[in-house]
Structure 1
Amino acid sequence: MCPKTQPRRRGLRIAVWSLVTTLVVAAGLVGVVLWQNSYDMEEQRVTIRHGGHTLNGVLAIPKDGRKHHGLVVYVHGDGPTDATHGDGYKPMWEANAKAGYASLSWHKPGVAGAPGNWLDQSMEDRADEAAAAIAWARARPDIDGDRIGLWGTSQAGWVLPKIAAKTPVAFAIAVSPAINWLQQGRYNLLAELRADGASAARTTAEVAKSDTIRRLLGRQATFEEYVRTMGGDADGMTADRWGFISKNYTADVTRDLRALHGIPVLLTLAGRDINVDIADTERTYHKVLDTGGALTVRHHPDAAHSLLKQSIEQSDLKITFTALFSPRSLFADGFLDSQRQFLKELDQSRATP
């Protein structure tokens, strides 16, 4: 009996210590995740009334003991985005907080339980929505109404100047904005085809299909007409999405951009952007805004359109693990610092007599 009992006990001890070690490692990993995803700011759930509707949002306030803060109002890009962009905004909000600025964002209509449908909106509708949010923020005693500015990415580039035309803003941060909707679509199509190594025949066919869609939009075709023309294959298009595109496909920021003239603007561009022609964007921003002397351009050569590092964006696994264990490292080097520094320099320039 004794010779058999000893190995059993030894095996039991090994199993127990293996379990303890696993639990300790798991607890340590959980601790790292919680620590890395804790941000130096206070998040408040807020409700904003706009035209009989409700905007459900988040206000992130710096924990610096000050009674008044500037504010960065976030305007989303395309897609069904919630207030935090799946927590992806939080590293940026923390950078803003370090510069003494609060951040405000809200769910798009129809997202995360918010009323409405964001696909029913035009760019003008989105600007009205943001202007209402700014009016709400100006009425708060903890927000400095003279230090409210905008942050917007991608599709929001068409919205930011429209907001500035409706209500005074102190600055704008434009991240990967396009100039012209149709030109951006064609640029993206060709860039993706090149990235896929598409043959000349496939490229010709895809461009012809794109031209057909443009003609349908130009004559205000219905979704049903679109489906018939595509041979009965909607190819992922929905009636709501077709309606959204039909409302907005003529968007071009060139003329609207004048509303930002003389306002400090940070233009952030990604070197690996296949969605937006960054050369066209930079050229247009310089042409319209340079005479005001308030345009700052920052290039991030290794960033994708989202301003995530391209090496990370190309892998869902890398995105997941980096978001868990080092979310601030998702973004291109210098991206968060450039926005924080831009905000700090704004306040320094205001303080200079």
Structure 2
Amino acid sequence: MKKCFKSIWFYVTLIALILVIIVSNSRVSDFELDENKSVITSISFVSKTDTLSGTLILPNQNNTKAIAILIHGDGAQDRFSNSGYLPLINSLLDAGIGVYTWDKAGVGESQGNWLFQSMQDRADEAQIALQVIQKKFTHTDIKVGYLGFSQAGWVIPIAATQSKPDFSVIIGGAVNWRDQGAYYYRVRLKANNIDSNEINRRVAEQLQQNDRVFGINGSHDISAQGDMSDDRFYFVIQNYLSDSSKDLPHMNGRVLAMFGESDLNVDAPKNACLYRTLLGNDVNKTVTLFPNASHGLLNAPFFNYQLDNQWPWWKQMLFIYQGRDSYSSDALNYLTSWITEEMTIPSDYIDFQCKSINSELR
């Protein structure tokens, strides 16, 4: 009996030790904002008639080098994207970069409805936020600019053309809304092991249908909305013709476009090369393509999904365990070093990817 108890306690102790080791090596703290290491201030602003509620987070000890105005992607996102942004935000803070972020219209503490917004509306919102933060740091050397994901690729080029940010960072941005939708649908069909000829047929058929409803002189016939809510249907009507090619060449300030080569939402190599062509050869306009990286620059072998709700529970746990280490190797270092101007990214970083599609860019 004594041997049995000794055996049980041995295994209990061993399991406890393993758990301690696991927890001590995790980056769970990346999902918290440490008030001892940062200064957190609530700041709201008004866009049109809506009051939008946000938070400014600055590194402590007055070592702020820059502040990023965070521009959300698609969806009903609160200021921290259900805590998903926190590993990124903590990485920025550790590099001396503050962050201002707010709840999208109609989400959290913000008024309005983000589905009623065009990309110009969202750009207007971003410009107001930029002005609010720039005014607070007028007599300092702190640089203030935009940083956004995915759908922000249609918002930031407008905002950076119509305002004066010190920098803009676009992660996983597509140039053309219609083309991005076709690519997204193609990837989804391919994942279901559908024959390539059938995929081509279905993609062409969907494009024709979407053009009839949402395109130039589209019918806007709500009977064609399918599974969309009324508000989402209205949102697509407003934004289906979005294309950043007219704004990208005229963006003010330094520009960094970051793409994950394994992106399942955006054709990363093609759009990276479009960005390179549209931004030109200016040394202050940089395009990077990271191998084995997802749409949001996460480590693709583990975290490559089109939608957040596709993540299995154990991947969610892994993301929480790894925190900032879930990002593709070097991606966060590139990002923070570029913003703080402590590193120059080679301008030929993706040239090898562009050669194969040059004919599409002419």
TM-score, normalising length: structure 2: 0.80
Q: In the alignment, what sits opposite 2:333? A: 337
Q: In the alignment, what sits opposite 1:4? A: none
Q: In the alignment, what sits opposite 1:215? A: 212
Q: In the alignment, what sits opposite 2:276? A: 286
Matched AA of 2:198? A
Matched AA of 1:322? L
Q: In the alignment, what sits opposite 2:322? A: 326
Matched AA of 1:116? G
Q: In the alignment, what sits opposite 2:245? A: 254
1:57 and 2:47 correspond: no
Shift of 1:201: 3.4
Matched AA of 2:222? E
Structure 2 unaligned residues grouped into runs of 5+: 305-310, 345-362
| Separation in structure 1 between the aligned mates of residue 22 and residue 198 of structure 2, nearest angstrom | 51
2:222 alignment partner, one of 210, 221, 224: 224
Q: For 1:85, what is the secondary structure of its paired residue?
A: coil
Matched AA of 1:225? S
Q: Which moved more, 1:159-168 or 1:199-208?
A: 199-208
1:189 and 2:179 correspond: no
Q: In the alignment, what sits opposite 1:295? A: 285
Shift of 1:102: 0.6
Matched AA of 2:53? N
| Separation in structure 1 between the aligned mates of residue 30 and residue 154 of structure 2, nearest angstrom | 34
Matched AA of 2:117? Q
Q: 1:269 to 1:182 in 2, by over 3 A?
A: same
Shift of 1:106: 1.0
Encode CA deviations 1:87-120: one digit per residue, 9 max, x unaligned.
2222222332233221111111122242221111
| Separation in structure 2 between the aligned mates of residue 239 and residue 223 of structure 1, nearest angstrom | 11
Q: In the alignment, what sits opposite 2:231? A: 240
Q: 1:138 to 1:211 in 2, by over 3 A?
A: same
Matched AA of 2:83? D
| Separation in structure 2 between the aligned mates of residue 25 and residue 143 of structure 1, nearest angstrom | 52
Shift of 1:283: 2.5
- Asked if the contact 2:120/2:155 (under 8 Å) is kept, the reply is yes
Q: 1:18 to 1:98 in 2, by over 3 A?
A: closer
Shift of 1:43: 5.6
Q: In the alignment, what sits opposite 2:300? A: 310
| Separation in structure 2 between the aligned mates of residue 317 and residue 142 of structure 1, nearest angstrom | 45
1:172 and 2:168 correspond: yes
Q: 1:145 to 1:75 in 2, by over 3 A?
A: farther
Paired-residue identity, %: 25
- Asked if the contact 2:169/2:255 (under 8 Å) is kept, the reply is yes
- Asked if the contact 1:177/1:276 (under 8 Å) is kept, the reply is yes
Q: In the alignment, what sits opposite 2:359? A: none
Aligned residues, how many?
Answer: 332
Encode CA deviations 1:55-105: one digit per residue, 9 max, x unaligned.
222222112433x54211111111111211222222222332233221111
Q: Which moved more, 1:78-87 or 1:14-23?
A: 14-23
Match runs of 1:43-122 below 5 Å: 44-50=40-46, 51-66=48-63, 69-122=65-118
